[in-house]
Homo-oligomer: A and B are copies of this chain.
Amino acid sequence: MRPAAPATIKDVARLAGCGIATASRVLNKSGPASTEMRERVERAARDLGFNFNAAGRALQSRKSMTIGCLVPSLANPVFAEAVQGVQSELLGSGYQLLISCSNYDDDADNAAITTLLENNVDGIIATMVAPNRSTALMQTKQRDIPVSLMFHDPIDGMVTAYVDNFVAAAEVARRFAAFGHTRVGFLALRFSTSDRSRNRYAGFYKQCRTSGLAQPSLIEISEEDAHHPERLAAILASYPDVTALFASNDFLAIAVQKATRHLGWQVPQDLSVVGFDGIEVGRLLETPLSTIETSPEAMGRQAAQSLLNALQGLGLKQRPPLPFSFREGETLAAPNPKRTDDDRVAAQPSSVHPAQDQNQSRTNP
């Protein structure tokens, strides 16, 4: 037996003994119908196991009831949680989620948006490498498709669900200062392609100056470095006078903790570390991570809410940044006055990462 073709509204109408329009009106509760007709149609639909065909509907109504979501990667729990937030907010809304990942690639970002557009998504939620100069995103304006960003600080006229990275990062500098640190660093992955990372650095930098700290060292590392504790250790060792490090995300911060063990340093005695994001595992570490706690899920939810509002014709409105908080943890303490440069040099491995002064000057705000 060949696969039974799903029942169409035509089948329902025939079984109910009425016109297609009537069936449609009843099933959609979109127009008048006598009680008797209503019952006949509903019964027929039930008996046939009728379901609307989304394609037919989309074609006619010019609404796909689908929302496109683009994130760099689902392997990063921060984005995965955000998507989870989007998903749960969309749950009862009738909208489906079409998903796409760019692997942090600008071209892939644009290609993905284009594909989503081809699929007639009614709205888009995205975190991109460069939303402000995405040609594909421009098309959404023309087609009047609402876009809601996640994680990005506000840019252009785009609506975004975010935490104020600048302000949050400044808080870290303030904490460093309060503990008496003077030489601090900012550790980043993919610094050049992440506006968030750059804004965090900017806020951190600004507050460092304001609080009278030395200009923070900007330490940009590769994915490779981050995955090899020895390599990361070597890099850390090349910044001997830094006593507190602000990592641009929690994974990096945890990797730093691991790397310090290679150097025989103690966190926070020999080096204070603060992360960003507030991922759950940070709490479970033997030395719980001090970090800026955010809620990616909340960002996803807010982005979805904004979009849903826009889709209901309520307008696309920018909301205030989402709250963050400083999670105390145990990786931030006063610098160890006993530790000398000599200790550091002694512990320093042979392979050394060159200090990247050019980077620092390039990226000063």
Interface, chain A (partner B; CB < 8 A): 2-4, 6, 51-56, 58-59, 64, 66, 73-75, 77, 80-81, 83-84, 87-88, 96-101, 103, 114-115, 117-120, 142-144, 251, 254-255, 257-258, 261, 281, 283-287, 297
Q: Give the nearest-CB partner of A53 in chain B.
A: B120
Q: Which residue of B lies closest to A142 (CB)?
A: B4
Measured CA separation A66–B115 after assembly (Å)? 12
In the complex, the answer to whether B297 meets A284 with C-beta atoms within 8 Å is no
Pick the contact of A83 from B74, B115, B281 — CB < 8 Å?
Answer: B74
Chain B: minimal CB distance from A212 (Å): 34
Shortest Cβ distance from residue A254 to the other chain B in the assembled complex, whole angstroms: 5
When chains A and B are docked, how far (Å) is the Cα of A158 from the Cα of B120? 33
The distance in angstroms between the C-alpha atoms of A120 and B57, with both chains bound, is 12
Could you list 13 examples of A-B contacts with CB < 8 Å?
A3-B143, A3-B144, A54-B118, A54-B119, A55-B120, A74-B83, A74-B87, A75-B297, A77-B80, A88-B101, A96-B119, A98-B99, A255-B284
For the complex, give the distance between the alpha carbons of A115 and B91 in Å.
Answer: 11
Alpha-carbon distance between A118 and B51 when the two chains are bound, in angstroms: 6
Which of B58, B101, B281 sits near A87, CB closer than 8 Å?
B101
Output the nearest chain B residue to A83 by Cβ-Cβ distance: B74
**What is the bound-complex CA distance between A285 and B56, given in angstroms?**
53
Q: Which chain B residues lie closer than 8 Å to A83 at the CB level? A: 74, 99
